[in-house]
């Protein structure tokens, strides 16, 4: 069934107006790699080769779906969609009166649900059949699986509650109020629970596979924010691009999707060998975000791993270091929900999709340094620049050790756990995420320790010299 669905999809795709698919490519089964479907080169392909192309008319989007034409009042911002007089008159009827969802995420989720419910009548039936129905994104993890992330800040960004709220307030009410449109004649409406599960599935497809359909002659859209609801101020249209989302992605990649006015074209960035997988790029994402959004992790993405230091942790260390001294209450309030991101300097991929520079931690965030230095100047006025620098790194060493202690396993224990052949996919993913964060924290710790030693060496070299000068008798005193 898996292979049959793939063959049907390729046949459907190549029959679309303007579609192109390079003869030396094949859509293959990569489930043994835990990668679902993927595209490989069956023969060597030169750089700058058009791998495949798809007309914008073949993309699943609000503009292309008949749903927008049937319920235009739900999508007033899509290509200037406005209801005609009949639609305005109908808005008084309960069965079609629903508030505008006003989110490109909600819009596309509704379109995907609508097209799925149409079954064989949907233009995209063969395409929908090859999209995944099960996900390893964190929204679908069990509590025990989530707990394996330990102290990772990504646990607070999974967004299951906000997704549920969006589904039950903006998706299900629209479908139930317009059931005659969403459900084909003769079919039964889904119970709320099944409808919610379907909405979660389509929301996960949007998160993992949808493209921002900008043109290359316009500025790139802003990066996607956390969760399913984001406000693009009407500037971006999200869409599901057939064949483009069959590609897997990594931090080193060999293909890029060009957004033309009428077509989307995937082009090779460098020569691709026979048997090599065609890979796209999701951007400089840490493994925690790959796991949260896409349901996988990658060793090559570990260069982008991050960790978050909450202000409350810094506050605790500062108060322990300076007992009896009180931080300004307004400062504490302003920083109460603040976190500081630790990350390496990773550089940009080359034009060929390769990483050409090492990822190295070079400095703590400027806003973190400024915040702590300002506090130190308040608590201990009159210190030298080097003394403040030493105090800063001493605080950071204590903060980093405290942050590491929040994880319930050590770096070495995690490395040993990863050697277990019986480790399930999600547990392995959680361990790799928390291990990557611990490695970064240890790099930061080594950096801070080295900086502290250097600052203290300068301070100790300066102070004795000053004392000797002060105690040496002057010529007048010798006489």
Q: Taking the CA of residue 18 as centre, how many other CA atoms within 13 Å lie in the half-sphere pointing to its CB?
A: 13
What pLDDT was estimated at residue 35? 86
Query: Of 311, 461, 270, which is closest to residue 395 (Cα–Cα)?
Result: 311
What pLDDT was estimated at residue 229? 33
What pLDDT was estimated at residue 213? 82
Task: Find where tokens 């790799």 sit.
Answer: 432
What pLDDT was estimated at residue 423? 87
Q: What is the pLDDT of residues 250-265, one digit of tens each?
A: 999 999 999 999 999 9
What pLDDT was estimated at residue 330? 72
CA distance linking residue 75 with residue 81, whole number of Å: 6
Angle (CA) 325-330-323 rounded to 5° is: 15
Q: What is the pLDDT of residues 297-336, one digit of tens each?
A: 999 999 999 999 999 999 999 999 999 887 777 767 778 7
What pLDDT was estimated at residue 327? 75
Helix residue ranges per DSSP H, 343-384: 366-379
CA of residue 348 relative to chain centroid, distance: 17
Phi, psi angle pair for 337, to nearest 5°: -100, 15
Angle (CA) 102-104-106 rounded to 5° is: 75
Give the residues of the chain that fall short of pLDDT 50. 82-101, 217-234, 465-479
Phi, psi angle pair for 394, to nearest 5°: -65, -45
What pLDDT was estimated at residue 469? 45
Could you give the domains of the chain?
2-280 (3.90.1410.10), 305-471 (3.90.1420)
Q: What is the pLDDT of residues 322-381, one digit of tens each?
A: 998 877 777 677 787 899 999 999 999 999 999 999 999 999 999 999 999 999 999 999
């Amino acid at each position: 069934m898996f292979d049959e669905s793939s063959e049907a999809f390729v046949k459907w795709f190549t029959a679309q107006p303007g579609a192109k698919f390079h003869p030396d490519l094949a859509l293959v089964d990569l489930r043994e790699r835990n990668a679902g479907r993927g595209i490989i080169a069956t023969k060597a392909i030169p750089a700058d080769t058009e791998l495949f192309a798809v007309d914008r008319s073949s993309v699943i989007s609000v503009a292309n779906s008949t749903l927008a034409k049937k319920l235009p009042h739900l999508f007033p911002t899509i290509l200037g969609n406005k209801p005609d007089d009949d639609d305005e008159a109908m808005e008084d009827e309960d069965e079609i009166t629903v508030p505008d969802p006003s989110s490109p995420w909600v819009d596309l989720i509704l379109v995907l649900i609508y097209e799925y419910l149409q079954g064989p009548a949907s233009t995209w039936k063969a395409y929908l059949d090859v999209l995944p129905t099960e996900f390893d994104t964190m929204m679908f993890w069990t509590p025990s699986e989530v707990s394996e992330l330990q102290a990772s800040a990504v646990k607070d960004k999974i967004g299951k509650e906000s997704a549920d709220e969006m589904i039950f307030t903006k998706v299900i009410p629209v479908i139930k109020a317009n059931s005659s449109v969403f459900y084909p004649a003769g079919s039964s409406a889904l119970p709320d629970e099944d409808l919610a599960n379907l909405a979660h599935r389509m929301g996960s497809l949007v998160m993992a596979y949808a493209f921002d359909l900008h043109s290359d002659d316009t500025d790139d859209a802003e990066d996607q924010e956390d969760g399913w609801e984001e406000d693009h101020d009407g500037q971006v249209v999200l869409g599901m691009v057939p064949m483009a989302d069959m590609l897997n992605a990594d931090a080193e990649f060999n293909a890029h999707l060009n957004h033309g006015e009428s077509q989307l074209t995937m082009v090779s960035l460098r020569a691709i060998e026979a048997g090599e997988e065609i890979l796209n790029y999701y951007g400089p994402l840490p493994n925690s975000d790959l796991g949260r959004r896409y349901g996988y992790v990658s060793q090559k993405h570990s260069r982008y791993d991050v960790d978050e230091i909450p202000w409350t942790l810094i506050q605790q260390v500062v108060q322990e270091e300076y007992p009896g001294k009180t931080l300004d209450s307004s400062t504490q309030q302003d920083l109460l929900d603040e976190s500081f991101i630790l990350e390496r300097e990773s550089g940009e991929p080359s034009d060929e999709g390769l990483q050409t520079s090492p990822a190295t931690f070079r400095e703590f965030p400027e806003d973190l340094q400024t915040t702590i230095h300002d506090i130190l100047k308040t608590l201990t006025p009159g210190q030298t620049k080097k003394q403040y620098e030493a105090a800063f790194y001493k605080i950071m060493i204590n903060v980093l050790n405290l942050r590491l202690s929040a994880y319930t396993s050590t770096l070495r224990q995690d490395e040993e756990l990863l050697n277990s052949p019986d480790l399930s996919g999600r547990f392995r993913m959680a361990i790799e995420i928390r291990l990557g964060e611990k490695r970064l924290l240890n790099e930061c710790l080594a950096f801070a320790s080295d900086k502290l030693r250097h600052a203290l060496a300068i301070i100790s070299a300066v102070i004795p010299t000053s004392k000797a000068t002060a105690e040496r008798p002057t010529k007048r005193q010798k006489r």
